[in-house]
Each structure stands twice: as C-alpha cells, then as structure tokens.
Amino acid sequence: MKVLWIWEIVVDKTYILDEFMTEDQKSQSVHSFQSVGWPTPSALALLSNLWCECIFIWKVWNDENSLFIKNELEKYNIKADLIYDKKTKVNTVVVNELNSSRSIIRDTSENSPIKDIKHHLIKDADIIIFDRHEFEAFQFVMKHKKQGTQVILDLSSEYSPKVIDMMKQVNYPIFSIEAVLKSTKQKSKPKINNDFQFEFSEFWESSETEIWMFWSIFHNDSYFEEPFEEVYKAIWKPFITTAWKDWVYLYDGKNLVLKDVLKVNAIDNNWAGDVFRWAFAYGVLQNWSVEKIVDFAIVVSALQCEKVWNLTAIPKREEIEKYFKF
C-alpha cells in the first residue's frame, strides 16, 4: 500500500523546563533535543510502522536541516522527495515538564507553492494526504490521480469557500469541531448563565466555545445541531468531526453519532486530531467500515498522548492491539 504525503515539515529545536517562567526570567533547560517537527513525520512513521510504503513531498532549502529531515525519515523507511526552495523552517519549542504545556516560536518563512508533482508518484499512490495550504498541488493531483485513489485533506480549524471546495472532492471529509462551529449562520449564541459557566470550569479548564457546546448538549438545544447541518449542506456527504479530548462525531445529514475516546494518562495532547486523521487513512486502505476506522483512529490518537510529542510518541502495532482487533 503506497501513501503519498504532501504537507509542511520543519525542524523543531525543543527545550524542556522544570519550572514556570515569569517575565524577564532566565532559565536553564533540563533537556534539549532536535527533531523533525510538525505532525508530518509522526504520521508517516505511524503508517510505515503499519507496513505502508510512504513517500513525502515538501519544499526545503538544501542545507544541514533538510539533510537532517531526510536522514530522520529514512530511519522509519520513509522516502523523501524534497523540492529545494528558499528555506528549511526551524521552530523553537519550549515544554514545561510540570504541566506539559508547550510554547512554540514558529519560523514564519514561506516557500513558493508546490505546483507540479512527478506523475508516477501520483499514479502509484493508493491514498494521498494533503495540507490544505497547497491548493494548486491539490488541484494538480485531483486531475492526474488514478481512479480509485483515496484522498484525505487536513483543514485544521479553517472553514472557508476554498476548503469547502476541496472537501467536496475528497472521499472522507474530516473536520475539527472549531471548523464546524464556524459554519453556522447564526449571529448569536445562547445566553449561558454565570453559574453554569463557573460550575463547568471547575471540572475542566475550558474555552468559551467548549462551554457553549456542552450547554447546548445538556439542554438538548438546536444550537448544537445547526453547525453540523450547515456543513452537510455545503459538501452533501457524511463527515467526521474531532472534538477536543473526549468525543468524535459522525454526521450523515440525519443522524449525529457521538463516540467516546479512549481514556489514557495523557502527557501531551498536541496533534491528537492530526494523528486521528492519519490513523483514519490507514483504515481506509484496509477497506474497513467507517465505524471500525473511527474506532481504530480513536485508539491510536489516544495512545500517542501518553508520550511527549515526537516520532517516538507514535504507538507501535503491539500497543494498538491491546485495545483494537485488526
């Protein structure tokens, strides 16, 4: 099974602290390391661990950082078809050991868009996974891919006409809950009394959006269903929604199915939604039912939260088998 991956990749320089920093404070890291950052390498490592042949495409500069990326990917049997451009991005990451919080200083350099991809890479792929930012590459691939090749798109929290156009063309639309909520045409949210907000916040450090969603669920309110209906009317196909750390939703235009996630001792929740999509891609390649694919993706995305995010956080097949029957 061949996977073609078109997604941004960076080098992360990570510093681990064992204290809370205050303004103007100098601190010494207890540990530091360099890794291939962003979700891309871990996604490919997951699929490679599950015996997929993975090929990665992205633009970098021909420097020591791009060589590091290529060498690291090769450790996991991932082939890198790098296109040399202006810059290899390098991020600085600070992790607090006390609460697992992560602060990222992102390299904002930009390379030119990917427009042309080798035809044989497209034709050979059984599934193609995209970063939503590469719109021109997406259109090129959709035009030249073989019939039957599955396409999965990561849109993060974006909800825009461009994203909707792309989602109409993919086989399995997967939205984050933040993107779904942006679809609603309602100008106002229900009024939430302060007592409810205070009581809810005691149990979970929550955003205003999370509190609103839970208020809607507890009160069986139509405010909760409307965003899902709006997304369905925009793409006219069933879709999956990842929602924070507790649920995944399946919506087919009529029925809204809620599935619990696997409870684990989470150390690092970052990128759990991204891992869900990659695990979903593997299930698609196995021709499993959507429900079985979602169950598998829930297990994999939960298990990766038990380790600090990097390539080693991706669960091995034997770890997955404790909770999921292949």
What DSSP string describes 8-76?
--EEEEEEEESS---TT-----SEEEEEEESSHHHHHHHHHHTT-EEEEEEEE-SSHHHHHHHHHHHTT
* Least trusted range by pLDDT, from 102-111, 163-172, 209-218: 209-218
pLDDT above 90 (res 90)? yes
Token duo for residue 265: 């001792």
Distance CA 156, CA 181 (A): 13
Q: How confident is the model at residue 89 (pLDDT cuts 50, 70, 90)?
A: very high
Region 9-23 average pLDDT: 87
SS3 (DSSP) at 194 = helix
In the predicted model, is pLDDT for residue 200 greater than 50?
no
Residue 194 reports pLDDT greater than 50: no
Instruction: Answer whether residue 325 is part of any domain.
Output: no
d(CA 217, CA 33) in angstroms, rounded, equals 43
pLDDT at 310: 56
> So what's the pLDDT on residue 222?
52
Query: pLDDT tier at 126 (50, 70, 90 boundaries)?
Result: very high
Q: What would you report as the CA-atom Rg of the chain, rounded to the nearest whole angstrom?
A: 20
Residues 78-97, mean pLDDT to the nearest whole number: 90
CATH number of the domain bearing residue 115: 3.40.1190.20
What pLDDT does 316 receive? 83
pLDDT digits (tens, 9 = 90+) for 226-253: 788 888 999 988 888 876 556 677 788 8
In a domain, 326, yes or no: no
Is residue 96 domain-resident?
A: yes
Task: Give the chain's domain count.
Answer: 1
The confidence score (pLDDT) of residue 51 equals 85
Phi, psi dihedral angles at 214 (to 5 degrees):
-70, -35
Q: How far is it, in rounded angstroms, from Cα 256 to Cα 128?
A: 28
- Domain of residue 273, residue span: 2-320
Tell me the pLDDT band of 88, cut-offs 50, 70 and 90: very high
pTM: 0.78
pLDDT at 191 over 60: no
Q: Which helix (H) or strand (E) holds 7?
A: none
What number is the average pLDDT over the span 39-62? 85
User: What's the whole-number mean pLDDT along residues 52-78?
Assistant: 91
Residue 290 lies in a domain: yes
